[in-house]
Structure 1
Amino acid sequence: MHFDLPDLRLFIHIAESPSLTQGARKAFLSPAAASARIKALESQLGSRLLYRDSRGVELTPAGQRLLQHARLIMRQVDYLKSEFTEYGTDAAGHIRIFANTTAVTEFLPEVLAGFLAQRPGVTVDLQERLSRDIVRGVLDGAADLGIIAGPVQAPGLQVLHFSTDRLVLAVPLGHPLAQRQLVSFSDTLAYPHIGLHEGSTLLSFLREQVEKLGGNLALRIQVSSFEAICRMIEAGVGIGIIPESAARRHSRTMQLVTLQLDEVWAVRERSMLVRELDALPGSVRALIDTLLPQPADEKKATH
């Protein structure tokens, strides 16, 4: 059985697009040429890979299996190319990262800015995903690196802890909870919350906790960033649960009261997920080294 790499890449483009036409466009092919290649691939495998209708395409079970293998194969091809580039082992390459909300909006932009400024040949695709999708993406080879917070269930992956953050409750001045030093999550459910947008990892996590309590999370408004949450809280619109790092930063310019949450899950370990660290290209390993705490930082944290 022989596979052409362009056909595998075309199949990935189509699988990740809403239609065959858009997938063909990404591969710089006409829809007719793309359709012919997919049919030839199906004939070679003896399996139907796509369901086609007026709404677009949907993967069959065989298509799902091929997508997983195709991603891994193409990722390894990309790794091979990056290892033999003229720029060197860590100065060029493409890195795809699946990360949670806090990573995407809070600390990764600053880290990546410095990292990319030193490596003009490196490009990054950073996508916000739910925790389960981050784990699955790294396992399937859809992402080189996953960044996640909280407990990690990721058999088959290497987990690299790199920092700790805490979820806290932010309330406006004069709020009934403002005089307390410690508050339980259940106590906050009596008040309207300011939440992140649908699909954010933090909102999904909080809804899971509410479901365990059998309560209801009254969302008054949903916004796209922690800064927007803090502005709404400062204006008295509601209260919100955010990472302590974000609360500390925005408290410098806004009038907020920050309270500790009396919950075990409030302490959030940040971890990176990879399939096999030693097999990653130099650019990905260099980014991981940038995120991992340095000996001086560890020494400072213990004092």
Structure 2
Amino acid sequence: MHFDLADLRLFIHIAESPSLTQGARRAHLSPAAASARIKALESQFDSRLLYRDSRGVELTPAGQKLLQHARLVMRQVEYLKSEFTEYGADNAGHIRIFANTTAVTEFLPEILADFLAQRPGVTVDLQEKLTRDIVRGVLDGSTDMGIIAGPVKATGLQAIHFSTDRLLLALPVGHALAGEQKVTLQQTLAYQHIGLHAGSTLLTFLHDQVERLGGKLSLRIQMSGFEAICRMIEAGVGIGIIPESAARRHSRTMRLATVELDETWAVRERRVLVRDLDALPGSVRALIARLQDVGREEDSRQE
């Protein structure tokens, strides 16, 4: 079996494009040349890789399998290149991260700012994803690492703990629930909530918990981040379930009341997901180590 990296890169481009023509354009090839290379790949694997019709291309089951392996191979090639740059193994390379909403909006910007300032040869592609998409992305090689919170099934992946956070209820000062020591999710459903934007990891998680109760989450307005949610809560627009880390930060500048949630799922372990830590380039391992250092500092402050 003989194929080169250019063929694998072309196949990835086509698989991620709506048509063979657009995939060929990304690979700087003519459609005819790209088609010939794909046919040669199919001959090598003795399997049909693409369904072609007037609407574009669709991967066959064999094509899905090849895409997963092709992404992993190309990732390893990128890792190899980064290990031999002028900046050194820890200070160069491109890191792709799939992360949940809290990570993207709350703690990663500050961590990445410091990390990247010290490593001029490193670039980062940070994408907000749902937990299931984060797990899938790490498994199929679409991303170098994933950042999640809470329980998750991640068979075949390494899960590295780096901190613990809690969800709590944030309320306007003087709210009827503000005097309670603890509240259940069921108790909060009698009030209008301020939530994150549709498709965010936290909102999806909360909808799942409410569905298990057979209730309905009444959303008065949805915001793009926790600061905006807290401003709405401070103004008396509604209540909101947010991470303790966000509540602590925004309580410094806003008048907010907080109440502990009497739910087992409210305590959430934050973890980094990877396929194989030892196989990752130095820059990725250095970022994971930085996350662990920051997590230990945060946990020690809460003790």
Q: Could you say what secondary structure the match of 1:174 adopts?
A: coil
Query: In the TM superposition, what whole-angstrom CA distance separates every residue of 1:183-237 from its partner, at most 9, and x where no partner exists?
Result: 1011111112122122211111111111211111122222221122122222322
Q: Is 1:270 matched with 2:254?
A: no
Shift of 1:275: 1.3
* C-alpha distance in 2 between matches for 1:154 and 1:217: 28
- Contact 1:93–1:283 under 8 Å retained in 2: yes
Equivalent runs, 1:201-220 vs 2, <5 Å: 201-220=201-220
Equivalent runs, 1:50-69 vs 2, <5 Å: 50-69=50-69
Point out where structure 2 has 5 or more consecutive residues left out of the alignment: none
Shift of 1:70: 0.6
Q: Could you say what secondary structure the match of 1:199 adopts?
A: coil
The match for 1:137 is 137
- Contact 2:163–2:295 under 8 Å retained in 1: no
Q: How many residue pairs are counted as aligned between the two chains?
A: 303
* C-alpha distance in 2 between matches for 1:225 and 1:34: 43
Q: Could you say what secondary structure the match of 2:124 adopts?
A: strand
- Contact 1:87–1:121 under 8 Å retained in 2: yes
- Contact 2:163–2:298 under 8 Å retained in 1: no
Query: In the TM superposition, what whole-angstrom CA distance separates every residue of 1:97-124 from its partner, at most 9, and x where no partner exists?
Result: 1111111111111111111111111111
Q: Could you say what secondary structure the match of 2:265 adopts?
A: helix
Shift of 1:68: 0.7
Query: In the TM superposition, what whole-angstrom CA distance separates every residue of 1:247-293 from its partner, at most 9, and x where no partner exists?
Result: 11112222222111111111111111111111111111111111113
Point out where structure 1 has 5 or more consecutive residues left out of the alignment: none
- Contact 2:162–2:295 under 8 Å retained in 1: no
* C-alpha distance in 2 between matches for 1:197 and 1:206: 12
Closer, same or farther in 2 for the Cα pair 1:22/1:188, shift >3 Å? farther
Paired AA for residue 185 in structure 2: F
Q: Could you say what secondary structure the match of 1:292 adopts?
A: helix
- Contact 2:162–2:296 under 8 Å retained in 1: no
* C-alpha distance in 1 between matches for 2:238 and 2:57: 43
Q: Is 1:100 matched with 2:100?
A: yes
CA root-mean-square deviation: 2.1
Paired AA for residue 266 in structure 2: A
- Contact 2:163–2:296 under 8 Å retained in 1: no
- Contact 1:163–1:293 under 8 Å retained in 2: no
* C-alpha distance in 2 between matches for 1:138 and 1:94: 15
* Residues 242-251 or 231-240, more deviating: 231-240
* C-alpha distance in 2 between matches for 1:192 and 1:51: 48
- Contact 1:169–1:242 under 8 Å retained in 2: yes
Equivalent runs, 1:39-78 vs 2, <5 Å: 39-78=39-78
Closer, same or farther in 2 for the Cα pair 1:298/1:211, shift >3 Å? closer
Paired AA for residue 242 in structure 1: I
- Contact 2:49–2:61 under 8 Å retained in 1: yes
The match for 2:174 is 174
Percent sequence identity is 79
TM-score (norm 2): 0.92
Shift of 1:53: 3.9
Closer, same or farther in 2 for the Cα pair 1:231/1:56, shift >3 Å? farther
